Amino acid sequence: MRIGVLALQGAFREHLDTLDAIGVAGVRVREPSDLDGVSGLILPGGESTTMRQLIERWGLRRPILDLAERGAPIFGTCAGMIVLAAEIAGGEPPILALLDVTVERNAFGRQLESFEADLVVPILGATPVHGVFIRAPIIDRAGPDVDVLARLDDGRVVAVRQRNIVATAFHPELAGETRFHRLIATMAAEHADPGEGSGRRPHPTRRSIVTRHDGSAR
Catalytic residues: 78, 171, 173
Do the beta carbons of residue 165 and residue 68 sit within 8 Å? Answer: yes
35 in helix, strand or coil? helix
Q: Residue 48 in contact with residue 105, Cβ under 8 Å?
A: yes
- Cβ–Cβ < 8 Å for 81, 41: no
**Residue 5 contacts residue 44 (beta carbons within 8 Å):** yes
Please tell me whether residue 69 adopts helix, strand or coil conformation. helix
| In the chain, alpha helices (H) | 12-21, 48-57, 61-69, 79-84, 179-190
Could you tell me whether strands 115-119 and 85-88 are parallel, antiparallel, or unpaired per DSSP bridges?
A: unpaired
Distances (CA, A) of 17 to 80, 126, 145, 192: 17, 25, 32, 22
